[in-house]
Structure formats: structure tokens, C-alpha cells
Structure 1
């Protein structure tokens, strides 16, 4: 018997292409031109998988998914489709129980792979009675996360799936990749959204002070303890505790943290009473915890307690397609903050930013755009406004490798910038098929300046 797939999209050509491809692959398909039609056909057809478009008139895909989750009876595995997805769309769809999320224009082979995976999973269960907050009840997080690269799409899917559980999450990634933003997104999309989210940087507080901050203390526990104080675990009760740089915890503190995770109780410093706490833990680190385990600097049992759901944040150099989105976001933000509305980057500055590898990741890019907006005398941001900050930030940014005494590059920064500029000019020449005039316009410089740079860098790209 053929497996049944329901295709829901308001565009007939999209439904036809999907139907033809899936039928050739041996599936039985039915089509629906709207969310309302899909809901009507559900019990009659009983598909195992539904491909559901997000943007449709009247009843859109997200509202259709919500109604599916509220109904009783048959529930297929839902794969959302859209050409206009955002981070919030992906997380909301996964939070509502979608199996997966694909972006248009998609490769039909990719769709067939996702359908095959969905068919291997049991059909979604009706969980209308579960404790899921409505969109009005949960915190809204517009614009919190920027980027729609495949790597970030996978992160958003994980955030959406894990938000509704109480599972401990370990977010790993280099400095500046946005680990705290992910923690905030998980909390904001969870049933704990109306409770506190408490953040603590484990590497920025001395051990003794951190212990009292986390677990609290009783009066007289130490010199200066003139009264009882609740720790952050108690303050975050019912909510979420974000432990940033958890790899910096000392071994004695790791033991105490493990006990809280296992027993869900704590004892204040100087106290004897076991205090129950209901706290969801999200931890983050830019360290390799497995390497620290081998050096006996991190407990193996704590690692597995924290690493229930791992989320890996990609460095910016591995998702360069997100750089234009990030630039626009930061440019708009700092233009408003400085009162310099209408700021824009010249094509040459954009090329320079795109060619750079960003060892400090999104945080470094944000700082670069902020300083460029401040330094620019007019609305146009030129390469020299960007280069100044790249030179300084590359020397001051502290990466995991630099903490271990390893530099990303030992060359003078001037040489690095010249190499980046040479690469940007060469790339622009190839895009314009060697045409000098069009290349100069693309880079925002004069033709004579382009020719000078080409001679200086020894660039020889023939005109096609």
C-alpha cells in the first residue's frame, strides 16, 4: 500500500511539481490549496505526512499547524515549507510539533529525503492537553536571532524542539557566536517564559564568591555573612538558569552543581536544610569539554548531565551567507542609536567585510559596524572606516585559541587587511567578467583607483 502525502500550498505549480516528483517516487499524494481545505481533507484521506506552506492567504500554515495540534484524532507528521522564513518562524513551527522545516526554492531530492525521514517516525500524537503556552502567553522575541543559513536553520529547529521540554541543554561554540541569545530564545519559547531567566558568567566570578552566588548562604556562614541570602538557583526557581562559560567551574563547584542536577535540591553555605529547586539548566562553553575531561579538569559525570541536548553554534566564517543580513541589522540599529539615519556601506566595504574570516564572530562584526557608523563623517561607510576597527579588534579579540596561547595569524594586521582587499578586488573583477568600469562602480571607487590597486597588488584579470 502506498504511503500517503498531503500537499498544502496556495500555488498550483508548487503542488504540481511536488505531486509529480513524489508520485514518481512511489507515494500516493493529494493536494489542498489552503489550510482550511487541508483540515477538511485530513480525516478522509489520513495522510502520514503533510507538506504545509507557511505563507497562505486567510488561514496560514502556522495557524493551520496550531489547529492541527488542537484537534483530536489523526495527526500526520508536518513538514513546513516557506520562502520567507525567519528564526522565529522556524522555532515556532518546531515548538508546535512540526517534524521539519524546509526553505523554498527547494531541491526536490531534498524534499524526498525529508519525507522519507518523516515516514520513519511514528505519527505525531495529539497533545492538545499539554502545557504549551499560547503565542500571547509566551515572550515574543522578534529580531533576536539573525541569519537564515542552513547551519542556523538547524540551530533554530533544535531550539524549537527542545524549548518545550525541561531537558538540560549544552550550547557549544566560539566566543561571539551568540550562545546567550540561543539560551534566551529557548527560555522565551518555553513554558517557563513567565518565570526568571538568570544568567551567570562562571568564568568572571572568583570561586568562593561564585559558590555563594549560586547556592546562597546562611547567617554566619563566613565573615561578613550578616544575614541569610538566597542563591541564584533559588532566585531562578520555576525558571531557567543560564551558566555561561561552564567549563571554567572548579572541580569542587562541579561536584555541588552535579548534586543539584541529580537531586534537584541544594544546601546553602553554612546550612543543613535541603531546599528543593525547580530550575532548568542551560549551560554554554567555548572550551572543548572532552579535552578538559581528559586533563581531569572537568567531571565526566557532569558533562553527560549537561550534554543531554547539545547545540553547536557555527562560527561566522562557516555561514558567510548571513553576513549581509547581519550587516543590515546592525547598520539599522546603530544608525538609529547615533541619529545617523540613512547610513549605508559602499560596495567595497561590503566586499571587505564578506572576505574577512571574523575570528571574533558576530560580536566582532557588530562592534565593527558600530564603530564604522560612529567614524563615518557622512552616510557613506567606506573601506577605511571598516579597516580601522578590523585592525584593532583583531588584536584585542580573545578567542578560545588565544586563551591557550595560540594566535590566529602572526602577520602584521596591515598585511592581513591588504590581503583581504586584494581578494575583494579580485572577486569583484571576476563577477564583472574583468570589466574595469563596472568593477570600480561595484567597489565604490574610481576607475583610476582600481587600476592603481590592481597594479599595486599584481592583479591580472583579463576582460571577457
Structure 2
């Protein structure tokens, strides 16, 4: 399965060049020439990664794309592509996983994207495993349920044990046992005399 990337940039030359480079490297690439178009595609398709320029129709247009990507249920990796580098804490606070500074050598770009995809997939796997572990822990801590008498037969519990669990069945067994004990003593007493 090819990994899908959404590339959002208002510079057509950048879009076409990056799209060609990424497709040659085995990615499936969708493009958007504005933040609005990028947000729309995020809602209608699923991507493993979103690469967005910061300054497009407005200075904060890339932030809108990042927010839309973060809100997507499929949780893509997000890279901010910019010619105006921001401080690490700034782009991380925006919600990006990586900042890519353009122009960039093709080999370096591909290496950074691969590293980002691997680390993002690892993070998602850990998160999924953590949720599974929490679910198992909750299941183990649940109190044991009593087995109804009707279900006992289906679980191959002997009929006498299953009946003994109900109060009425217990009384019946106690009465029957009391009647059998004196009869057994009388018969054994008669044999001895």
C-alpha cells in the first residue's frame, strides 16, 4: 500500500516539484493550492502525512491546515514547510511534528520525511497499545458474575451443583438427605439383630 501525503502550498512550482519528487519515491500525493482546499481534502480523504506551507492566502493559513489535520480521526503526521523558519517551540506549539525549511535538497527532504513517518507510526502504535492495555485492565478488574442455573448446563456444571445454588433446591436436597439417613440406620439395625 502506498503512503498518502497531502501537500498544501500556494506556489504551483513548489507543489509540482515536490509532488514529482515524492511520487518518484513511492508516495501517493494529493495537492492543494490553498488552506481552504487543504482542509477540504483532509475531511474527504485519509493521509499518513500532511505537509503544509505556513504563509498562503494569509500569514496563518498553514496553522488552519495543521489544526484540521490534528482534528482528523486518522491522525496524520504533520510537517510545516516554510521559507521563514520559526523557533522550535513555535512550530511545535502550532501542532506540527516537524519543520521543513525550503529550499531543501531532495535526499535530505526524503530522509526527514521517512524519519517523521516512522516516528509518527511508532507513536500511534504505542498509543493504540496503551489503549488496549487499559481496556484489558478494566476487563480484568470487573467483578465475576454469578452463573444462572439455566446457563450451568451449557457450561457443563453438574446438575446437582447448579440446583444447589438456588435456595429452593437447597431445601429440597436437605429434606431428601434427612429422610434417607434414618431409613439407612433402621435397615442396618435390623440386619444386625
Within a 5 Å distance, the mapping from 1:187-336 to structure 2 comes to none
* 2:65 is the counterpart of 1:64: yes
Equivalent residues, number:
122
Aligned to 2:90: 92
Pick aligned residue for 2:108 from 105, 110, 114: 110
Deviation at 1:123, TM superposition (A): 8.1
Query: Aligned pair in 2 of structure 1 residues 103, 37: CA closer, same or farther (>3 Å)?
Result: same
Query: Aligned pair in 2 of structure 1 residues 2, 68: CA closer, same or farther (>3 Å)?
Result: closer
Q: Distance in 2 between matches of 1:24 and 1:100?
A: 22
Q: Distance in 2 between matches of 1:9 and 1:2?
A: 22
- Residue 113 of structure 1 aligns to a residue whose secondary structure is helix
Deviation at 1:30, TM superposition (A): 0.6
Q: Distance in 2 between matches of 1:45 and 1:4?
A: 9
TM-score between the two structures when normalised by the length of structure 1: 0.25
Give every structure 1 segment of 4 or more consecutive aligned residues whose post-TM-superposition deviation is greater than 6 Å. none
Structure number with greater CO (CA < 8 Å, separation at least 6) is 2
Please tell me whether the aligned partners of residues 9 and 33 of structure 2 are also in contact (alpha carbons under 8 angstroms).
yes
Please tell me whether the aligned partners of residues 10 and 34 of structure 1 are also in contact (alpha carbons under 8 angstroms).
yes
List alignment gaps of at least 5 residues for structure 1: 126-464
Q: Distance in 1 between matches of 2:78 and 2:35?
A: 13
Please tell me whether the aligned partners of residues 53 and 80 of structure 1 are also in contact (alpha carbons under 8 angstroms).
yes
Query: Aligned pair in 2 of structure 1 residues 65, 32: CA closer, same or farther (>3 Å)?
Result: same
Q: Distance in 2 between matches of 1:108 and 1:60?
A: 25
Aligned to 2:121: 122
Q: Distance in 2 between matches of 1:86 and 1:124?
A: 24
Q: Distance in 2 between matches of 1:117 and 1:94?
A: 17
Q: Distance in 2 between matches of 1:35 and 1:51?
A: 11
Q: Distance in 1 between matches of 2:94 and 2:86?
A: 15
Please tell me whether the aligned partners of residues 76 and 123 of structure 1 are also in contact (alpha carbons under 8 angstroms).
no
Deviation at 1:72, TM superposition (A): 4.8
Deviation at 1:75, TM superposition (A): 2.3
User: For each residue in 1:302-321, what CA deviation from the matched residue of structure 2 results, as whole angstroms up to 9, or x when unmatched?
Assistant: xxxxxxxxxxxxxxxxxxxx
- Residue 115 of structure 1 aligns to a residue whose secondary structure is helix
User: For each residue in 1:267-305, what CA deviation from the matched residue of structure 2 results, as whole angstroms up to 9, or x when unmatched?
Assistant: xxxxxxxxxxxxxxxxxxxxxxxxxxxxxxxxxxxxxxx
- Residue 122 of structure 1 aligns to a residue whose secondary structure is helix
User: For each residue in 1:230-255, what CA deviation from the matched residue of structure 2 results, as whole angstroms up to 9, or x when unmatched?
Assistant: xxxxxxxxxxxxxxxxxxxxxxxxxx
Aligned to 2:11: 11
Deviation at 1:94, TM superposition (A): 1.2
Query: Aligned pair in 2 of structure 1 residues 102, 54: CA closer, same or farther (>3 Å)?
Result: same
Deviation at 1:64, TM superposition (A): 2.4
Query: Aligned pair in 2 of structure 1 residues 102, 115: CA closer, same or farther (>3 Å)?
Result: same
Deviation at 1:17, TM superposition (A): 0.6
Answer with 1 or 2: which has the greater Rg. Answer: 2
